[in-house]
Amino acid sequence: MALVDISRSIAPTTAVWPGDQEVEWSWTARVGAQEEASVNLGALQHSTHVASHADAPLHVDPEGKAVDALPLSAFVGPAEVVDVGDASRIRPEHVVNTTAERVLFKTSASALSDDEWPGRIAAVAPDTVRSLADKNVRLIGTDAPSVDPLDSTALPAHHALIDAGIVNLEGLRFENVPPGRYILIALPLKISGGDAAPVRAVLRDASVQQRPE
């Protein structure tokens, strides 16, 4: 089964939202470095919104669901990668022919390395969210660090997603992924009460048939 990794790496060099917790990695124990150490033991500190991650409604709504309360089924299943090129905004016309329950937007942000922060992004228009809701979409994903403009405080796309009951992934990467149909697997970490959680997101060719058990 060929899987395509669409996740960004978590490392001390990973670009994070300005002012957010940077990634800190340290060794608690190292074999050979400490006489009593029988294992290598690492420690990691980072934001819940680092790299590729799932947002929960709690991120923008104090009464919203936490990430561990989101339906896991939304994060696994048929998906469509939609290439919007260098569009400055993801609009309803980009999803006119979309029929998948999970829609992943490939924008110019996919060309950035993991340690680069974008100067601008293609935000998702609230009207696009409502169009997708009419199509019974369960999840959207973007390669940008947010579905809203980087300077937005009103966060209209986030709120439109909550109103529509659509979960969202941010910080993906589709650099070598052509548009088309796939199977998405992108389960968030089970962080109790979390406003978000990192994911290891992969795509599988939708045309590949699984062998019967």
- Hey, which residues are catalytic here? 59
Structure tokens at 16: 């994070």
Query: Rounded to whole angstroms, how far apart are CA atoms 79 and 181?
Result: 6
Q: Which residue in 43, 75, 39, 37 sits closest to 56, CA to CA?
A: 75
